[in-house]
Structure 1
Amino acid sequence: MRTYLLNAVWLLLLLSLACKEAPNETRSTATLPVYKDVPYFQDYSIKYMSNNEDLELYSAYMDRNKLIQIASSKGVLRTHDGQFLYPGILMQDKTYRPLTDKNITAMTLYEDQFIYLDDKAVLSNAWAGTLYLKHDLPKASLFSAGRDFSFLISDGSALQYVSKNNKGWKGEVANDLVISIEFDNKKSIYYILGKKSVTAFDPNKQSQTKIVEGENFTSLAIMNANLIIGTLDGYLEVASATGKKISETHKDLPWTEITCIENIDGNLWFGSTKGAFMLKEDGKYNYYYGKRWLPGNMVRHISKANDGSILILTDDGLGQIVFEEMTLFDKAQYFEKQVRHRHIRLGFNSTLVDLDNGNIDSGRLSDSDNDGLWTTMYLAGQAFRYSVTKSEEALQNCMEAMDAMERLFDINPVPGFPSRSYERSGYIERLGDPERWQHTDDPEWDWKSTTSSDEAIGHIFAYGVMAELMDNELKDRAIVLIDTLMSHIVKNDLYLVDFDGKPTTWGRWNPEYVNERPKMVGDRKINASNIVAMLQTAYHFTGKEKYKEKAFDLMENHGYLDNLMWPMKDVAMAPDDADDWSKMLSESWNHSDDEMYFLGYWGLYRYAFNDTLKTKFKESIIDHWEIERPEKEGAWNIMTALTGTQEFDLEEAAWYLREHPMDLVTWDIMNSHRKDITFIEPNFREQTLTEVLPPDERRVQRHNGNMFRLDKVGNDGGEEYSAGDIWLLPYWMGRYLGIISEPMVE
């Protein structure tokens, strides 16, 4: 096969020069909106595991020296090791031996220095160790720092105020148990939270005033002279001066069982029994749930670190949420490394599987039914990257991916038939779907059969991009592969015919199959749209009339133009009298079809035979995009821009790229319990909410997934996806189309 490919290059070049191509859709950035790639804050998590079931964690702080310490039931702990994707641990802090001998029950910060509470005193190692204020509460476990080295202490029932200039006021809260103390620096007032009350203590007058009474109080913060009181069922706001409720209890939260609240730079952060969340200016929340962000979901304490990160202490360890300033280009550079370091198998863009609880060094690269598809999406992204940057690295990435893609054709005995995948021999029984694997003539290798239309459209999309954009041998190799695959399909009456001489289950574009489906069944529209796009691409780059003739035959004599122009709003379930196959195909919206449509739109629009068809195809693409808009899918919004339309939701595309998590491990995700989202009735599209959640609050998924799927449970931390198709394709496509700028530093 390889010899044929090389010899065919020169013939195809002569054919392409001899034929008159359709007008080429060149890049035009003059009239399209452009996202300016200025720095934004990207969040990610560094986790520290406790690995001790008997350990209770109380609070965590970072001092001015960037040291993190944790108060626990076994004394003071510190963080060890730990970086993004490589969790550290919590271990006993032995750096100052006299401190390890003390019964430390709590800690806090004062002037960014660690302050400790033990059974005898408030003390610190800062200020040359001169801070040592004795108290008379041997079971003290709560305290808060005020002004001028003063502190209010409690053991849950009794209170004591100590300072350098005070012998020590004592008191208690009547008919309540103290669970927290907060100091209002503006008013110089301590607020004492009980399970059913909040009391103010004035250290100057040494007097108490009950502010508000209630029930099931759990936590307290101060915000704009108001008290924010967490409960077991939401939170309420109370005017600190009058004790009057400002509003009804807020329950429209990701979760209402509040465990802690913190005012950090004017933003309210909440800990709960199901993760942590921050209230944004627009009234929505950033939600941090699951091992993507936190070691555990029971949040014990939240504090701002001295480096701008947020420390979220859970029952299973500490999650440090880091906010790093970067551009989309910076993020792309990280993802480029992620792909090359961990996701290249024999040149394919692959998934890392069998991870041990998210340990990315413990996994193995897996074959996939869609090795060809995921690789073509990565390959196209790298071709866009090369076109924009002329990066030698991008060119080499394309070379290696093309080697893998060509071998999909070479390794099996069927002319022009692309394998799904291939692997070294001896693993068939250990691989998924062993019945699909076939032996080759070479005893060292096996190949995977039953290739589907998903792979076919991915092949033609990527090769079309390369044939158009590349200015080297890859252009010629891409044209050969376009002709090789499409010759097979046309020769076999618009079927992918496998080694057994039979069409594969999904590689079917023949009118007898396509038009057997009722018009509302999506397979009729998708197959018509894809095959026309594929034939147009083949004609555009080879000039062979058989492709043009077949496409017009399908459109004029078999209704394929009508099929592909069928309105997306009318795609629906098959009627009761339809055949069983059509009913199966239309049980719900097929998001893999969305992926196939949009990959096909590159060839459908860009290589349209004439302007009349191009206008119709643009109408069809925008009609589809209108249906997809609620998903805010970055790749589909960016792909729609190729039509030149002014409206393609550029900001939502940039939102997708910014909000996408950098951690692509398949952690368990839960959102169905949330009370801050609005559910809608079950529907054909399987849209669950009025508004899609940000990508970093959803499961990691490819473009063929339902963006409205709320939960992912099972195989927690078992895989890491590649960014090659998920993120790099839409980013570099946006750069090529000119709708995402080069990085801009303000």
Structure 2
Amino acid sequence: MSRAHVLLLFLALRSLAGPIPDEPFWQDAAEPIRHAPELDGATYRKLVVDRENVVHVLTDRGLARVFGDTLAPDASHRSLAGKPVVDITASPDGDLYWLLADRWLSNARNGVPFGSVGTNRYTHIVAEADGSVWLAGHGIHARADADGRLRENLYAGMSDIRVWNGAPGKPWIGVDGRIRAFDATGVTALASRGGRVWLGTRRGLRIVDPEGGATAGRAGPPELRLPCTDITALHAASNGVWVGTIRGAFFRRDAATPSPDHNGTVADGAPLTADHGIRLYAGRRWLRDDAVVDLATDRDGQLWVLTKTGLNRIGFHRTTLAEKAEWYHRKVRSRNLRFGFTAERRLRRPGDITSSEMIDTDNDGGWTSYYIGSLAARYGVTHEEETRRQAWESFGALERTQTIHTNAGFPARTFERRGFKFSDPDRWRDAPDPNWEWKGHTSSDEICSQTFAHAVMWELVARNAAERSRVATNFVRIVDHILAHDLYLVDVDGKPTLWGRWNPEYVNWFPPSIVDRRLNSAEITASLQLAYRMTGDDRYRDRAMGLFAKSGYLANILGPMSAVALTPGFIHQGNDMGDEWNHSDDELGFFTYWVLVRFAFTPELRAQYAAAVKDHWEFERPERYPIWNFIHAACGGESHEPEAAVWTLRGTPLDTITWTVTNSTREDLTKLPKSFPGREMKEILPPGERAMARINTQPFILDHGDGGGIDLPGDEFLLGYWLGRFVGAIAAPAAR
């Protein structure tokens, strides 16, 4: 098909449905708070945000407050500086009230609110809008008028009296964990909005609904389908409730309220929830530790979470996918480029980007090929000359994987200056230039990904015959190497590499139940098709047709994914090829499909290939993965679910560090038994609740991450977004 026909195909695809508008949404991000040295080892007890949006924290060393991005002891009022503080609260108007050992007071209302109490009698305070307060302590609670008059009520034999904010003039009184008005026991936290009241317990969340019919005004049964049922804190929001637990904080959306992906106000809660209305913030990506003491939102909608080791802030900021893509683009350009390769950064101190260094990886050429894909798609949409320059820069790294040594047509995995290699030191070889080393043992992963990169460079970036010739020359050299070695990739030792094998003797050794039979057949066919399109040389087409006719490669490609199953016992150089579903094979499959379909020899083959792509995509569909969805669209898939892809793009965190994420302890997920596909849970979680990982990691894994040791580039987000723009699934942003 000519380039003009390709354009016509995509114009037709774009007309199938209108693009999804790039409406602003709330992007969440952890915003670290420094802690003054005076608070080292402090015990953190309570969190209050006052009417001026000042964040106050009660500690065992007195009151602290946030100054900018630092939590420090508060010596603002000299008369109170250093005084032991028993409790703090905010009135409905947001005025801060203090409870000391022998008195309560506020600096609002010109300092008038004040009252004396018996020494060490009270432990909790709640303030009313009129300046009066409610107090609770050991076996006692009281109401103090604004003028200081105190009326006490004693509870004989009761030790723990608590008071929580309620309707004006009607605080909720808890006696030894029991709130009689709701017939509720074991209450650890309370929040209310309108007539609805949420009660936190050690065994779930109970809700008091004023419109509950016969049960109106009474606590319902404990809600147990929560990430953690051991609740320590609650804070009401306009469409749900924030919940603090011993294992992180989460937002529970009201059942009747839609998920605020891109609507509503910041106070609506989290920007994205799972299908069952929960959004969890846990682990070091979000919190210093997971033991939540208290939580609150400020008037800007930012979430403040007080945990055992200190204060945390999670910000929600209005953005668009286009703005988010530009953020990722600047991050990659400024922090994750090494010789034109996209690079991971190793963090010598977990989570500390200032301690990091760029390192080589097992597939630098492969990951960089996908980055090239994002630049090519972006250039196809925007025609920005700087984007085009950047694509050629990274393409130069792919060219150098061949020219850094003398093994013609053999792409190195990566290269580095001598003495600074990092990964797999046994796979490195000396370059003719004594200042450099290169990594061999190249696999089919590299060939597949580089085939994709050469295809998009030739199709979308090269603007004239000379540039297309440059791309073709580099790619055809790889294909000629494979053909010259009987469909093997041969390293400098004269032996085929472990995975660089497309010979029928290897490919057809696998039964149809092992995906390598289908995948490797598709890979070599795609490479031969691209070489034929670039050169017009019939020998590439003839070799592919020979593999179809004599070795069944077309039948292999079209074999149903439903045939792939657990098939142990097929051992290749010590590797059991059928004992698990390797998500890398899905990755390689979809990048191969781009070339397989778009560069098909005939329209008939294109239609057959497109059906095979749809067959594979149906299996991957639950992942809601943007790249798979939009490659499916680029291959003619009409039902590629762009909404699901956009859900993932919006939910992708800005923190690209590989923090450990533990979901196996959650009580709201449906755990699955061990299976061949390796999916460990039924639900698809928002990306912010999953570990940051490369695209060869399937998202249904419960626990993943390495404790914050690597900063990933995040360029997969760019590829997903720009492919969505390129196929017309995502609209350009409206002017803001």
Amino acid at match of 1:37: D
- Partner of residue 733, structure 1: 723
Q: Residue 60 of structure 2: which of 52, 58, 73 is its match?
A: 73
- Partner of residue 10, structure 1: none
What SS class does the counterpart of residue 622 from structure 2 fall into?
A: helix
- Say whether 1:412 aligns with 2:399: no
| Contact 1:661-1:696 within 8 A present in 2 as well | yes
- Say whether 1:104 aligns with 2:80: no
Q: Residue 190 of structure 1: which of 162, 166, 171 is its match?
A: 171
Q: Residue 38 of structure 1: which of 20, 23, 45 is its match?
A: 23
**d(CA) in 1 for partners of 2:48, 2:659:** 27
**TM-score when normalising by structure 1:** 0.90
- Partner of residue 261, structure 1: 234
- Partner of residue 640, structure 2: 648
1:229: how far off? 1.6
1:65: how far off? 3.5
- Partner of residue 434, structure 2: 443
- Say whether 1:130 aligns with 2:112: yes
What SS class does the counterpart of residue 388 from structure 1 fall into?
A: helix
Moved more, 602-611 or 59-68: 59-68
| Contact 1:466-1:474 within 8 A present in 2 as well | no
Q: 1:709 to 1:49 in 2, by over 3 A?
A: farther
Moved more, 606-615 or 149-158: 149-158
| Contact 2:681-2:701 within 8 A present in 1 as well | no
Superposition pairs for residues 424-463 of structure 1, below 5 Å?
A: 424-428=417-421, 431-463=422-454
- Partner of residue 663, structure 1: 655
1:223: how far off? 4.2
Write out per-residue CA displacement over residues 597-650 of structure 1, whole angstroms, 9 at most, x where no aligned residue. Answer: 001111111111111101100100000000111112121111111123221111
| Contact 2:102-2:119 within 8 A present in 1 as well | yes
- Say whether 1:114 aligns with 2:86: no
- Partner of residue 152, structure 2: 170
Moved more, 672-681 or 129-138: 129-138
1:731: how far off? 0.5
1:580: how far off? 6.1
Q: 1:384 to 1:160 in 2, by over 3 A?
A: same
Amino acid at match of 1:227: V
Identical residues among aligned pairs (%): 33
What SS class does the counterpart of residue 742 from structure 1 fall into?
A: coil
**d(CA) in 2 for partners of 1:422, 1:598:** 27
Unaligned runs of 5+ in 2: 256-275
Q: Residue 479 of structure 2: which of 483, 486, 489 is its match?
A: 486
Write out per-residue CA displacement over residues 286-337 of structure 1, whole angstroms, 9 at most, x where no aligned residue. Answer: 0011111111100011111121111111111222121111110011111111
Moved more, 406-415 or 353-362: 353-362
Amino acid at match of 2:684: V
Amino acid at match of 2:62: G
**d(CA) in 2 for partners of 1:65, 1:480:** 66
What SS class does the counterpart of residue 358 from structure 2 fall into?
A: strand
Superposition pairs for residues 542-621 of structure 1, below 5 Å?
A: 542-574=535-567, 578=570, 584-621=576-613
Superposition pairs for residues 323-342 of structure 1, below 5 Å?
A: 323-342=316-335
Equivalent pairs counted in the alignment come to 705
1:173: how far off? 4.2
Amino acid at match of 2:317: E
1:479: how far off? 2.2
Amino acid at match of 2:368: T
| Contact 2:182-2:219 within 8 A present in 1 as well | no
| Contact 1:296-1:315 within 8 A present in 2 as well | yes
| Contact 2:568-2:579 within 8 A present in 1 as well | no
What SS class does the counterpart of residue 235 from structure 2 fall into?
A: strand
| Contact 1:21-1:540 within 8 A present in 2 as well | no
| Contact 1:38-1:745 within 8 A present in 2 as well | no
Amino acid at match of 1:255: C
Q: 1:188 to 1:240 in 2, by over 3 A?
A: farther
Q: Residue 139 of structure 2: which of 149, 157, 164 is its match?
A: 157
1:245: how far off? 4.1
| Contact 2:594-2:635 within 8 A present in 1 as well | no
Unaligned runs of 5+ in 1: 1-18, 83-88, 199-209
Write out per-residue CA displacement over residues 552-600 of structure 1, whole angstroms, 9 at most, x where no aligned residue. Answer: 1111211001111111111112266x55669711111110000000011
**TM-score when normalising by structure 2:** 0.91
Q: 1:580 to 1:444 in 2, by over 3 A?
A: closer
Amino acid at match of 2:418: S
**d(CA) in 1 for partners of 2:393, 2:151:** 75
1:462: how far off? 1.1
What SS class does the counterpart of residue 6 from structure 2 fall into?
A: coil
Write out per-residue CA displacement over residues 400-426 of structure 1, whole angstroms, 9 at most, x where no aligned residue. Answer: 212211111111220111101111112
**d(CA) in 2 for partners of 1:361, 1:506:** 37
| Contact 1:351-1:721 within 8 A present in 2 as well | yes
| Contact 1:72-1:105 within 8 A present in 2 as well | no
- Partner of residue 491, structure 2: 498
**d(CA) in 2 for partners of 1:175, 1:261:** 28
**d(CA) in 2 for partners of 1:708, 1:44:** 23
What SS class does the counterpart of residue 516 from structure 1 fall into?
A: coil
- Partner of residue 693, structure 1: 685
| Contact 1:55-1:74 within 8 A present in 2 as well | yes
| Contact 1:47-1:317 within 8 A present in 2 as well | no
1:471: how far off? 4.2
**d(CA) in 1 for partners of 2:121, 2:289:** 28
| Contact 1:137-1:154 within 8 A present in 2 as well | no
Q: 1:174 to 1:587 in 2, by over 3 A?
A: farther
Write out per-residue CA displacement over residues 32-57 of structure 1, whole angstroms, 9 at most, x where no aligned residue. Answer: 34211111111111122557563111
1:105: how far off? 2.4
| Contact 1:221-1:227 within 8 A present in 2 as well | yes
Q: 1:175 to 1:508 in 2, by over 3 A?
A: farther
| Contact 1:39-1:745 within 8 A present in 2 as well | no
**d(CA) in 1 for partners of 2:157, 2:368:** 67
Q: 1:297 to 1:40 in 2, by over 3 A?
A: same
- Partner of residue 470, structure 1: 461
- Partner of residue 27, structure 1: 10
Superposition pairs for residues 193-208 of structure 1, below 5 Å?
A: 193-198=174-179
| Contact 2:141-2:161 within 8 A present in 1 as well | no
Amino acid at match of 1:693: L
- Say whether 1:276 aligns with 2:266: no
What SS class does the counterpart of residue 423 from structure 1 fall into?
A: strand
**d(CA) in 2 for partners of 1:67, 1:166:** 26
- Partner of residue 357, structure 1: 350
1 or 2 for the larger relative contact order (CA 8 Å, sep ≥6)?
Answer: 1
- Partner of residue 228, structure 1: 198
Q: 1:247 to 1:533 in 2, by over 3 A?
A: same
Q: 1:719 to 1:426 in 2, by over 3 A?
A: same
What SS class does the counterpart of residue 99 from structure 1 fall into?
A: coil
Moved more, 495-504 or 242-251: 242-251
- Say whether 1:709 aligns with 2:692: no
Moved more, 370-379 or 531-540: 531-540
Write out per-residue CA displacement over residues 382-407 of structure 1, whole angstroms, 9 at most, x where no aligned residue. Answer: 11112211223322321321221111
Amino acid at match of 2:375: Q
Amino acid at match of 1:69: H
1:487: how far off? 1.6
**d(CA) in 2 for partners of 1:128, 1:318:** 29
| Contact 1:518-1:582 within 8 A present in 2 as well | no
Amino acid at match of 1:147: A
- Say whether 1:395 aligns with 2:388: yes
- Say whether 1:720 aligns with 2:711: yes
Amino acid at match of 1:140: Y
| Contact 2:106-2:112 within 8 A present in 1 as well | yes
What SS class does the counterpart of residue 741 from structure 1 fall into?
A: coil
